[in-house]
Chains A and B, each alone.
Chain A
Amino acid sequence: MYSRNGDKYFVVDGHCHFWDASPANWVPGAEQYAKGWIECFHAYMGLGPADTHWPLEKFQKYSEEDFVKDMFEDAGVDVGIFQSTYLKEWYTTGFNTAAENAKMAEKYPGKLIVNGRFDPREGEAGMRELEEDAKRYNLQGVKLYTAEWYKGSRGWKLTDPEAQMFLDKCKELGIKNVHVHKGPTIWPLDKDAFDVKDVDIAATSNPELNFIVEHVGLPRIEDFCFMATQEPNVYAGLAVVIGGLMHARPRFFAKVMGELLFWVGEDKMLFGSDYAIWEPKWQIDGFLDWDYPEGDDFSDYPRLDDAGKRKILGLNAAKLYGIEVPAEFQVAGAGDKEDAQLVESA
């Protein structure tokens, strides 16, 4: 629980990691990619306040104590959701796999949720793995990277018939939340890895599933917004929006928030710190303090009050993941997709 000036907030961090990107875990022959990847992440940390920056060495591999302190003690995160990222071509034991994440989750019961993955191009074997993972880790969600290369294939779409078979399997296994990474990728060259059209169609054909677009499709926020406004089961994952813009580019942050509140609405936006790229505490502090700057540029965006901030910080995600929230933290309407305001003209 996050508390400040006597006010208490229930916080679900919808996007966090516990990774090992230390040189000891670099795959021989792929060192330059392993090194480049983590250094790129480290540069993003530079977009936060200077007193929250870490030296590269700590950033490559931080301890369990760091994680517990930054997430639970300092920031008061009630529940963190691990988005597993494998990258085994570069990191010998993986960057942060479901298996590693599950070890942490076991140590802190009720505090961490592990999300799995699938890739429809892995066929039968992939389907079996998803079944096993779902049982082993009690999966409620998966994180998907549609732009990843695999054996000569340059990515896949949620609308592929094979992908639909996996989505059907998710429903059967009780996996309700499909997080889709639409953002920077490693090796798709000529294509645009941010195209969200397939999410649009899949969300319509699978109303029982929730689709959370991570990083709100940044840098293609407009495509995401035009799509999300029409789909009641599409949500905005705010990781990178708050961490990358709130401190470094406050006026752009205000505009992006204004647009998201207008097109997507406060009932369908989910906080995510993207820890350890950024620590959650300063993000929560700043978000609670946040309001639009003065000026006509911001006058016709929807306002965000304390109840709205509570939804975004935790209540919306709690609803998607069936996390029990004590009555004292509740506000009306959190996470109700029926309440999500559809923009009439869009």
Chain B
Amino acid sequence: MTRERVIDALAEVYDPELDEPITRLGFVSSCEVSPDGDVDVALRLPTPQCAPNFAFLMAADARTAVCRLPLARRVTIRLEDHYTGDEINAAIAGGEGFTGAFPGETDDDELGALRELFQRKALTARQAAVCEAMLAGGVDVGDLTRTVVADLPDDASVRRCLELRCALGIESGPDAPAFVLPDGEPLTADQLPRWLRMARLVRTSLEANGGICRSLLQVRHDLATDSQEG
């Protein structure tokens, strides 16, 4: 098994708060694969004080993604330079949930609810980008709210929207409405202007937050400045 396969698998792991792959955010600081298929991945976050809940989700998701590779043998995921790194690493290695990392201090259900909340926000922000592009391309507002999933272009934003819909249990088959509200209800034409305004704000919030995270990571590790700005 190659290192590239592992990196590809890690590219499917998203920062739940920013809705961006951890590989693109620069969170994977090293990835080693032995000839026998043992995998060792180190993750680093923008600051050692990044929220433990999101840190845990990323480390656990990374483990799940790598373990899914047929040729992966022993998989080690290490969260580096984090103030709760020891607790999180031990729980991940033992296959335990978040409560395993912090017994008596948390509740796995609350972590699940938090993830879901951010998936709904991410879906709103992503759909708005797709919707804006279609409007800019000349699609009529009335037609837009009548489009179905099969009518959508096959691009990265749309694919991510459908992944999020699947994760949230929102219907995403070819005949399902193309644009839905956070609760899964179809978006109507009269709701569209206000929904777009709100969705743009959600996207700005995600982008600005991601921008601060990237900048902090660059400052901390003396990385070159990126040019990823919206």
Residues of A near any B CB (own CB < 8 A): 32-33, 36-37, 39-40, 43-44, 46-47, 154, 184, 186, 189-193, 218-222, 225-226, 244-245, 248-253, 255-256, 259, 263, 297, 345-346
* CB <8 Å contact, B230 and A297: yes
Instruction: Using A36-B48, A259-B201 as known contacts, say yes or no to A44 and B216 having CB atoms under 8 A apart.
Output: yes
6 contacts across the A-B interface (CB closer than 8 A):
A32-B83, A190-B106, A193-B51, A248-B215, A252-B230, A255-B207
Q: Which 10 A-B pairs have the closest CB atoms?
A: A46-B219, A219-B209, A249-B211, A190-B106, A221-B205, A190-B110, A252-B208, A248-B215, A251-B229, A255-B204
* CB <8 Å contact, B110 and A245: no
* CB <8 Å contact, B211 and A248: yes
B111 within 8 Å of A (CB atoms):
yes
Please give the distance in Å from A90's CB to the nearest CB on chain B. Answer: 12
With a cutoff of 8 Å between Cβ atoms, the chain A residues found around residue B219 in the complex are: 43, 46-47
The chain A residue with its CB closest to the CB of B202 is A222
* CB <8 Å contact, A218 and B48: no
Complex alpha-carbon distance, A33 and B82, angstroms: 11
Complex alpha-carbon distance, A218 and B47, angstroms: 16
* CB <8 Å contact, A47 and B215: yes
Secondary structure class of chain B's binding surface, majority of residues: helix
With a cutoff of 8 Å between Cβ atoms, the chain B residues found around residue A225 in the complex are: 201
With a cutoff of 8 Å between Cβ atoms, the chain B residues found around residue A189 in the complex are: 52-53, 98, 102, 105-106
Please give the distance in Å from B54's CB to the nearest CB on chain A. Answer: 10
Please give the distance in Å from B114's CB to the nearest CB on chain A. Answer: 6
Further 4 A-B residue pairs, CB within 8 A, beyond A46-B219, A190-B111: A46-B215, A192-B53, A244-B212, A263-B201
Please give the distance in Å from B164's CB to the nearest CB on chain A. Answer: 17
With a cutoff of 8 Å between Cβ atoms, the chain B residues found around residue A191 in the complex are: 53, 110, 114
Complex alpha-carbon distance, A191 and B114, angstroms: 7
Instruction: Using A251-B230, A252-B207 as known contacts, say yes or no to A40 and B47 having CB atoms under 8 A apart.
Output: yes
With a cutoff of 8 Å between Cβ atoms, the chain A residues found around residue B197 in the complex are: 345
The chain A residue with its CB closest to the CB of B208 is A252
B29 within 8 Å of A (CB atoms):
no
* CB <8 Å contact, A40 and B205: no
* CB <8 Å contact, B47 and A43: yes
Contact with A along B186-230 (1 / 0, CB 8 A): 000000011001101110110111011001100110000000011
With a cutoff of 8 Å between Cβ atoms, the chain B residues found around residue A251 in the complex are: 229-230
Complex alpha-carbon distance, A315 and B198, angstroms: 29
With a cutoff of 8 Å between Cβ atoms, the chain B residues found around residue A226 in the complex are: 198, 201
* CB <8 Å contact, A190 and B216: no
Contact with A along B44-67 (1 / 0, CB 8 A): 001111011100000000000000
The chain B residue with its CB closest to the CB of A226 is B198
B20 within 8 Å of A (CB atoms):
no
B133 within 8 Å of A (CB atoms):
no
Please give the distance in Å from A221's CB to the nearest CB on chain B. Answer: 4
With a cutoff of 8 Å between Cβ atoms, the chain A residues found around residue B83 in the complex are: 32-33, 36
> Residue B114 contacts which of A46, A190, A219, A248 (CB distance < 8 angstroms)?
A190
Complex alpha-carbon distance, A218 and B211, angstroms: 12
* CB <8 Å contact, A218 and B208: yes
With a cutoff of 8 Å between Cβ atoms, the chain B residues found around residue A43 in the complex are: 46-47, 216, 219-220
Complex alpha-carbon distance, A182 and B159, angstroms: 33
